[in-house]
Structures are given as C-alpha cells and as structure tokens.
C-alpha cells in the first residue's frame, strides 16, 4: 500500500512540476508546526501532527528552496499531506 501511495505522490509531483519528485528529509521538527527541510524554514498553516525529524517528504506544490508563499508536502513515512508557509 505504501508503495502505491508513494508512486501516486511521485506521479502527481511530476505532473505538477514536470520534474521527477525528489524526497527531502525533515532535519528538525518543533511542536508539529515548525520544520527545517532542505536547510529552509517552513511553518504549518495549522499543524502537521506527528511529523518528525527524519521523515521523508515530497514537495507537491511550492518550492523546496523556500521561495514560495505556501507549499503542500507529502510525508512519505506517514502517507499524508500538510500545507505549510514558506518563511
């Protein structure tokens, strides 16, 4: 099941960005709402409950370089998405 969801998330990311989906590790996570990913700061629009340091994410929308207003992340480990603000 997890492989199917990852394949779907990868296909969606490729469709929306035109590039192969890259996974990024959450380097730091504080209170389910502040994250360091790809050396950039992101803040959950509400909460990304249970998202932890070490989880792998795919950027479904927005930019991994923090150059965006908001982004949607897919957590490969938890098999769920969450919206974040780019700081």
**What's the domain count of the chain?**
1
Element (H, E) at 79: none
Q: What is the pLDDT of residue 72?
A: 97
Residue 37 to residue 5: CA distance in whole angstroms: 21
Tokens 């990868």, located at residue: 10
Residues of the chain with confidence (pLDDT) below 70: 1-19
CATH code for the domain of 30? 2.30.30
Query: What stretches of 3-79 adopt beta strand conformation (E)?
Result: 23-30, 34-37, 40-44, 56-61, 70-75
- List the structure tokens of 45: 């629009």
């Amino acid at each position: 099941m997890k492989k199917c969801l990852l394949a779907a998330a990868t296909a969606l990311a490729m469709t929306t960005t035109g590039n192969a989906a890259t996974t990024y590790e959450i380097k730091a996570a504080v209170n389910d709402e502040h994250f360091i990913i790809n050396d950039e700061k992101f803040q959950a629009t509400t909460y990304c409950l249970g998202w932890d340091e070490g989880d792998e994410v795919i950027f479904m929308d927005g930019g991994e370089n923090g150059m965006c207003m908001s982004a949607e992340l897919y957590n490969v480990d938890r098999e769920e998405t969450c919206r974040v603000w780019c700081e």
